[in-house]
């Protein structure tokens, strides 16, 4: 099983269930291995100590049979004891008794001698040394005990060695190892089944949420109940509910926009149809020419309305919002002034431009151009002949755009609603009955998209309207 690693940037997270199982079971398996090693070493040490204690008991039993007789060290070992030393049910046992002068007394003379570097065991009060050796082709464990011997005329220390083959110890070691591995394997299997079942039970609310999402109708954007999932998942459900609420608002706005747009387009299309029918029935060339001229004028109005609807839709949905660059606002104002100057000349309107060249905003040049066009075009449309329209651009760090006219203006009570699509102020209906009511709505949406603030006030001398657009600082 592969150790779970951090997800690389852009990679899919994968299965939550499998990740939980990996993060739980892999550390658990490692802990089980470490615990097995620890238990095995502890049990092995305990078994080693038990065997050494039994070996020391045999050595002491033999030491009690060692004494002085006629000035010599002798070992009085019965034949029955010799048989038990030579062979055991679990292995072979050998012994050797060495006198106080290093002479061989009894047992197996070729038994390996006590190495000098072997320390005395601190676990027992006796002067005993334990060491491993090889004897007759077999590994043995040897206990070497220094035993004091004395009589009325002599005293000294004899060395009693008892060796035991390691067959019994190795068998016990294997049994301990197999028992430890079996128990730990059973523990891991049981933990795996328990964790798998637990993860399955814990993830049931998420599975129910998944089924609810999968079986919902496309038109059902109602909220999911966050109380049906875990506390940690509730923020996700709440975020989903918030997203669906915003999506519902967008859909409602689209439906309303489509309804309003179809209503607005129906009028010029109906007029076009009527004018076309009149042209088909008209035989007088002069009257037919006038009808065709009217058709052209109606078509131009319909095209203008359609372009404004598309611009409004693009601004509302944030199209091109990602294409934000540093835009010189003065250049856009100058270009719009040149484009709309013929209309101002036809109405004998004084169109002026006062722009600082260092005024820069962060935005989309196409949308900003549409915003300035709508502001200046509205000002020209609703300014009577002989009036004035002033276009001003100022501020380097905080760019500001102003369009001031000397028209009828907008009553203060209606200034909060004039940015609603298709809404037309009372003065606008009188000055331009054929307007669409989309100009300021487009301006508002583009300003919001650029983080700008709109301010409406009276023009100079309390006449007309002054619209100011305050942009945020340009990003560097």
* pLDDT (tens digit per residue) in 391-432: 999 886 688 999 999 887 887 777 777 777 665 555 554 555
State mean pLDDT over 178-197.
83
Give the pLDDT confidence score for residue 369 in this predicted structure.
86
- The answer to whether residue 217 scores a pLDDT higher than 70 is yes
Q: Which range, 15-29, 121-135, 273-287, 424-438, has the best average confidence (pLDDT)? A: 121-135
CA gap 388, 100 in Å, rounded:
135
User: Phi, psi at residue 41, to the nearest 5°?
Assistant: -65, -40
Q: Which two tokens stand for residue 34?
A: 């470490």
Question: What's the whole-number average pLDDT of the chain?
Answer: 79
Question: For 307-345, what is each residue's pLDDT tens digit?
Answer: 666 665 655 555 455 567 888 888 999 998 888 888 888
Domains of the chain: 41-174 (3.30.450), 217-317 (1.10.287.130), 325-470 (3.30.565.10)
Whether this model's pTM surpasses 0.85: no
Give the pLDDT confidence score for residue 259 in this predicted structure.
64
Give the pLDDT confidence score for residue 389 in this predicted structure.
92
- The answer to whether residue 5 scores a pLDDT higher than 60 is no
- The answer to whether residue 225 scores a pLDDT higher than 60 is yes
Q: Provide, rounded to the nearest whole percent, the portion of the chain with pLDDT above 90.
A: 7
Question: For 229-273, what is each residue's pLDDT tens digit?
Answer: 888 888 888 888 888 888 887 777 677 666 656 655 665 677 777
What's CA 171's distance to the chain center, in Å?
53
Read off the pLDDT band of 1 (50, 70, 90): very low
- The answer to whether residue 451 scores a pLDDT higher than 80 is yes
Give the pLDDT confidence score for residue 80 in this predicted structure.
44
Give the pLDDT confidence score for residue 167 in this predicted structure.
79
State mean pLDDT over 107-135.
87
Read off the pLDDT band of 142 (50, 70, 90): very high
Q: Which of 80-89, 130-139, 232-241, 282-291 has the lowest mean pLDDT?
A: 80-89
Q: Which of 377, 404, 405 is nearest to 393 (CA)?
A: 404
CB 212 within 8 A of CB 241: no
Read off the pLDDT band of 156 (50, 70, 90): confident
More confident call, 305 vs 55: 55
State mean pLDDT over 203-221.
83
Give the pLDDT confidence score for residue 404 in this predicted structure.
92
Read off the pLDDT band of 2 (50, 70, 90): very low
Read off the pLDDT band of 144 (50, 70, 90): very high
CA gap 439, 452 in Å, rounded:
17
Read off the pLDDT band of 86 (50, 70, 90): very low
CA gap 80, 59 in Å, rounded:
16
The residues, any chain, with a CB within 8 Å of residue 418's CB and separated by 6 or more, are: 410, 425, 440, 456
């Amino acid at each position: 099983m592969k150790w779970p690693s951090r997800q690389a940037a852009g990679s899919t997270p994968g299965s939550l269930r499998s990740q939980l199982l990996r993060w739980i079971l892999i550390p658990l398996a490692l802990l089980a291995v470490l615990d097995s090693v620890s238990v095995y070493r502890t049990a092995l040490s305990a078994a080693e100590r038990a065997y050494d204690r039994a070996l020391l008991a045999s050595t002491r039993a033999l030491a009690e049979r060692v004494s002085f007789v006629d000035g010599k060290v002798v070992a009085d070992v019965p034949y029955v004891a010799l048989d038990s030393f030579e062979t055991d049910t679990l292995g072979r046992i050998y012994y050797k008794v060495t006198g106080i002068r290093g002479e061989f007394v009894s047992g197996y003379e070729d038994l390996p001698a006590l190495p000098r570097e072997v320390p005395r065991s601190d676990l027992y009060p006796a002067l005993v040394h334990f060491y491993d050796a090889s004897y007759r082709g077999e590994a043995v464990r040897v206990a070497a005990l220094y035993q004091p011997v004395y009589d009325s005329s002599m005293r000294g220390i004899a060395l009693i060695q008892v060796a035991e083959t390691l067959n019994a110890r190795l068998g016990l070691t294997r049994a301990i190892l197999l028992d430890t591995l079996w128990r730990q394997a059973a523990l891991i299997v049981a933990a795996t089944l328990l964790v798998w079942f637990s993860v399955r039970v814990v993830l049931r609310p998420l599975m129910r949420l998944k089924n609810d999402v999968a079986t919902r109708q496309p038109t059902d954007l109602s909220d999911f109940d966050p109380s049906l999932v875990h506390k940690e998942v509730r923020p996700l459900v709440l975020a989903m509910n918030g997203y669906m609420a915003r999506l519902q608002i967008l859909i409602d706005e689209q439906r309303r926009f489509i309804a309003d747009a179809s209503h607005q387009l129906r009028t010029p299309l109906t007029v076009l149809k009527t004018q076309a029918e009149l042209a088909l029935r008209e035989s007088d060339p002069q009257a037919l020419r006038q009808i065709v001229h009217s058709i052209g004028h109606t078509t131009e109005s319909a095209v203008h309305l359609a372009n404004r609807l598309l611009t409004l839709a693009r601004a509302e949905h944030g199209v091109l919002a990602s294409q934000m660059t540093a835009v010189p606002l003065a250049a856009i104002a100058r270009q719009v002034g040149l484009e709309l100057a013929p209309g101002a000349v036809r109405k004998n309107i004084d169109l002026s431009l006062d722009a600082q060249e260092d005024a820069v905003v962060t935005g989309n040049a196409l949308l900003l151009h549409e915003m300035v066009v709508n502001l200046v075009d509205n000002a020209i449309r609703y300014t009577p002949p002989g009036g004035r329209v002033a276009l001003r651009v100022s501020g380097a760090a905080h760019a500001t755009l102003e369009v001031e006219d000397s028209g009828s203006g907008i009553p203060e009570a209606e200034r909060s609603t004039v940015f609603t699509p298709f809404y037309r102020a009372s003065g606008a209906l009188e000055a331009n009955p054929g307007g669409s009511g989309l100009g300021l709505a487009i301006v508002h949406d583009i300003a919001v998209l650029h983080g700008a603030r709109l301010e409406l006030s009276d023009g100079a001398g309390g006449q007309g309207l002054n619209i100011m657009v305050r942009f945020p600082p340009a990003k560097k």
